[in-house]
Amino acid sequence: MFIRNETFYSFRKNYPIITTLVFIHLVLFLWINLSRWSGGLVPFGSFLLEAGIGNNNAVAHGQYWRLLTPIFLHIGAAHVLFNSFSLILFGPALERMLGKVKFIIIYAGTGVLANIATFLLTGPYYTHLGASGAIFGLFGVYLYMIVFRKDLIDAANAQIITVILILGVVMTFLNPGINISAHIFGLISGALLAPLFVKNAVPFHITAPARDRGVSFDPNRWKKRRYLSSQRVLRLIGWAFLLLVIIGILSRLLPF
């Protein structure tokens, strides 16, 4: 469910929404930073940042698009790498289980709700950007599955999500500069909206591409699925810790 074995081609084909979101993250990150580094030789970078960043004062004056646009913007390399990696790791299962349209709605919807919470709970001149609120929204959906829809997620994958979620919440309160409101209310929004979106979902291993080809499925097949070994669970958690360390080092060494 969270072990990625695909080639780039198969990943792009099987998970087009995740691929598109990560592409947008990276393109906008490079565009904005190349414009800053080149002193404006790459055009419109400053405009994209200034027009899209979350700005409570601007929202209060009617610029409501800023409740959505910050979800796609990043300035720091560590920030864009961590959010993109999180999407690549944890997004595909939900894109497959929910379908493209529902996934887009819940991703954007939880991101917007997280930014509304930010607007209401932080100061009038608070500014923010990043996909973290929407990503925590996805974790909220998984949290709902773990508690109420155990038929959709097995014990090993539930363990992975629980550990990563606990780490994410702890880091939210320990790291300076984190938009705490977006993280917490993204998570809450995902959990509250999940019942509407997972009602007809099927387990991840019952693949959508095969179903689209007209292959018949036994709805009880989930009982026969392979469970991740505890060794693979620990390996994935170890890689997550290593990623956090690498991103922490990069954030201190790189000039952006």
Looking at residue 87, which CATH number applies to its domain? 1.20.1540.10
**For residues 199-225, average pLDDT:** 55
Point out the residues that are catalytic: 132, 183
- pLDDT tens for 141-196 read 999 999 999 999 999 899 989 988 998 898 889 888 899 999 999 999 999 999 99
- pLDDT tens for 54-101 read 999 999 999 999 999 999 999 889 899 999 999 999 999 999 999 999
- pLDDT tens for 122-132 read 999 999 999 99
Domain membership of residue 242 (yes or no) is yes
The residue range of the domain holding 80 is 8-253
- Whether pTM > 0.95 for this model: the answer is no
* Helix 180-197 and helix 132-148, axial crossing angle in degrees, nearest 10: 50
How many distinct structural domains can be found in the chain? 1
Domain membership of residue 3 (yes or no) is no
Domain membership of residue 1 (yes or no) is no
Q: How confident is the model at residue 250 (pLDDT cuts 50, 70, 90)?
A: low
Domain membership of residue 134 (yes or no) is yes
- Which contacts (CB < 8 Å, 24+ apart) does range 143-152 have? 143/187, 143/190, 143/191, 143/194, 144/190, 144/191, 144/194, 144/195, 144/198, 145/194, 145/198, 148/195, 149/198, 149/201, 151/203, 151/222, 152/97, 152/198, 152/201, 152/202, 152/203, 152/204
Domain membership of residue 2 (yes or no) is no
